[in-house]
Amino acid sequence: MEKIRIINLAKRYGKVAAADAVTFSVDDKEFFSLLGPSGCGKSTVLRCVAGLEEPSEGEIYIGETRVNSTADGINVPTEFRPIGMVFQNYAVWPHMTVHDNVAYPLKLKKLPNQLIETKLKEALHTVGLERLADRYPSQLSGGEQQRVALARALIKEPEVLLLDEPLSNLDAKLREQMRFELKDLQRRTGIPILYVTHDQTEALAMSDRLAVMNAGRIVQVGAPAEIYTRPANRFVADFIGLMNFVPGRILSRSGDEATVEFLYGRRLDVIDRSGLNGACVVAVRPEDISFSSAAAMRCRVEVCSYSGHLIDYMVRADGAVLRVQTPKTEIHKEGDELGLAFTRALLFAANPS
């Protein structure tokens, strides 16, 4: 069942279309991310769902309730939307203890004290902060403060959680760890999450599905593996993961099988549903290139970079500079002359319209 439904949403600031023709939905129990470069309109969409911005066009449903309709003049105020929110600066109150910070939304609602204490225990337990209830935010780490903000969002038992770059103030190690904690929390509570990030690794790692945005519009919606292996266009291919792009030419095609020539005569048979013919751009992931002594195509290792779990190379081949990644066990030196083999490639239009 859909928990958030956004239909043809637009938000304009003067002549700037921060969001345009945005349509997607988030299912029950789903972790759904909006991903895209800075300024592409992610926060604008989230703020419209939260009721912090009024859309210029479109409709938004949360559960069964239509919270926005520009056509029918509906704009339900934030406080009446069944949402919990956490932003980048988690905005915990420094003069209140963890207990008081988290209890605050229920105090506002003037619920009986005993009920507040019961719900508070539950919320602190969910985020693993039971033992820190009496501390002040200044006595907590960034990750713990972030969990206070989450507990405060959860205590209202919202139908959906809206999170805008909640991990970006944390250091790299903690951010990585919190990814799992957040996903685990989502699985335990079953609350659907609409998550905003410009960090593609984060979006791929946490989401059930994600929408990639560019310049106010959604360019692709899909599961992480689908977006990574079958990017809808060159923008997505470039934005998600690492990708080499080299000019090429499609020599022949039979249905979804095409033979492409690139890098001065290198030929490769690829599965390709683009229907393109003639000049194209050949896109190859670094892990889809390997070093092979038998390969006719030669390259020179220019830079070798050790990344622990893999080795990252910059190589020069026929004038092109390519990124190649190999398992950590396969070590070559800068200056080595090697053969290159390609296992998989994607084709895009040479001059996208």
Ligand X SMILES: Nc1ncnc2c1ncn2[C@@H]1O[C@H](COP(=O)(O)OP(=O)(O)OP(=O)(O)O)[C@@H](O)[C@H]1O
Residues that bind Mg ion (CB under 5 A): 43
Smallest distance, Å, CB 14 to ligand X? Answer: 7
C-beta of 33 vs 44, nearer to ligand X: 44
Smallest distance, Å, CB 346 to ligand X? Answer: 26
Closest chain position to Mg ion (CB) = 43
Please, what is the angle between helix 98-108 and helix 142-154, to 10°? 20
Partner from ligand X, Mg ion, none binding residue 99, C-beta < 5-8 Å depending on class: none
C-beta of 38 vs 329, nearer to ligand X: 38
Smallest distance, Å, CB 164 to Mg ion? Answer: 6
Nearest to 49 by CA among 83, 23, 17, 14: 83
Nearest to 181 by CA among 82, 62, 170: 170
Contacts of 234 (CB under 8 A, 6+ apart): 245, 281, 283, 348, 349, 352
Partner from ligand X, Mg ion, none binding residue 18, C-beta < 5-8 Å depending on class: ligand X
C-beta of 194 vs 281, nearer to Mg ion: 194
Smallest distance, Å, CB 236 to ligand X? Answer: 16
Q: How far apart are CA 36 and CA 39, in angstroms?
A: 8
Sheet with 289-291, edge to edge strand ranges: 289-291, 337-342, 298-306, 310-317, 320-327
Smallest distance, Å, CB 16 to ligand X? Answer: 5
Instruction: Please answer whether residues 7 and 23 qualify as being in contact, where contact means their C-beta atoms are separated by less than 8 angstroms.
Output: yes
Partner from ligand X, Mg ion, none binding residue 41, C-beta < 5-8 Å depending on class: ligand X
C-beta of 90 vs 348, nearer to Mg ion: 90
C-beta of 36 vs 222, nearer to ligand X: 36
Q: Which residues bind ligand X (CB under 6 A)?
A: 13, 16, 18, 36, 38-44, 198
Partner from ligand X, Mg ion, none binding residue 198, C-beta < 5-8 Å depending on class: ligand X
Q: What are the tokens at 318?
A: 């026929």
C-beta of 43 vs 207, nearer to ligand X: 43
Smallest distance, Å, CB 339 to ligand X? Answer: 42
Smallest distance, Å, CB 133 to Mg ion? Answer: 31
| SS3 call for 268 | strand
User: Reduced to 3 DSSP states, what percent helix, strand and coil does the chain have, rounded to the nearest 5?
Assistant: 25, 40, 35
C-beta of 46 vs 347, nearer to Mg ion: 46
Beta bridge partners of 349: 280
Partner from Mg ion, ligand X, none binding residue 266, C-beta < 5-8 Å depending on class: none
Q: How far apart are CA 7 and CA 48, in angstroms?
A: 12
Smallest distance, Å, CB 41 to ligand X? Answer: 4
Q: How far apart are CA 144 and CA 139, in angstroms?
A: 9
Partner from ligand X, Mg ion, none binding residue 39, C-beta < 5-8 Å depending on class: ligand X
Partner from Mg ion, ligand X, none binding residue 244, C-beta < 5-8 Å depending on class: none
Read out DSSP for 287-307?
Answer: GGEEE-TT-SSEEEEEEEEE-
Backbone dihedral angles phi then psi of residue 214, each to the nearest 5 degrees = -145, 125
C-beta of 81 vs 198, nearer to ligand X: 198
